[in-house]
Amino acid sequence: HGIVRGNARAPYNLRKPFDKNDPRMQFVVEKPDYRIHFGLNCSAKSCPPVRVLSAEHLEEELQILAVSFCEDDSNVRIDAQTRQLHVSMIFYWYLVDFTNRGLQSLPKLLAKKFLAGVKQQKLVRLLETKERMKVELFEYDWTANAPDAPVFDVECLRANRSAMLLSRRGSHVATSSELAETVRA
């Protein structure tokens, strides 16, 4: 938030990350790129997948990440019948990064910058009618976005911790692969 968001407050924080005398202020991006939210995130299921970005292709990579996130109906969905645009909470939390004209300006931004093909055409047609469109927010899923992450059982972890402590007291220190195997068992 301090460096890549131009020292902007994080959602639900009361102050900016750096004060004016903080030495990190020299690294603060002057004009933040709102597409950064599609490349750097907390790795929850409702976040875009975490990717490694390259300096030489950063522009293209950020655009691809933004478009692919918005093309997924679980992040941006258009209901033409009810004139509703359903969007990820990311757009709400970081609205100031995307637009300074409020949530109602989001449909136009999405149509212009992040949608393509049929989905873009659908939203453009709705915008052309000049009738008010309701913007709804998807519930955010905070569970980890790691498909192969082990599901831990508290009792199993307690037993494994005891086994790990016992093996440290002896001559053998358990390796990480041995501990992982114990957790799987």
Please report the sign of the dihedral spanned by the C-alpha atoms of residue 43, residue 45, residue 46, residue 52.
positive
Query: Of 40, 27, 43, 1, nearest to 141 (Cα)?
Result: 43
Report d(CA 17, CA 44) in Å as an integer.
Answer: 22
Whether the predicted model's global pTM rises above the 0.75 cut:
no
177, pLDDT greater than 70: no
Task: Write the CB contacts of 53 (distance below 8 Å, at least 6 apart in sequence).
Answer: 39, 61, 62
- Would you state the pLDDT for residue 106? 94
pLDDT at 182 over 80: no
For residue 38, give the nearest of 100, 111, 86, 87 by alpha carbon: 87
Q: What is the share, in percent, of the chain residues with pLDDT greater than 70?
A: 78
pLDDT at residue 153 greater than cutoff 80: no
pLDDT at 159: 59
**pLDDT of residue 171 exceeding 90:** no
| pLDDT band at residue 184 using 50, 70 and 90 as cut-offs | low
Handedness of CA 36, 39, 44, 49 (dihedral sign): positive
Distance of CA 76 to the CA centre of its chain: 13
Extract the tokens encoding 125. 């047609």
What pLDDT score was predicted for residue 144? 81
Q: Which helix (H) or strand (E) holds 155?
A: helix 154-169
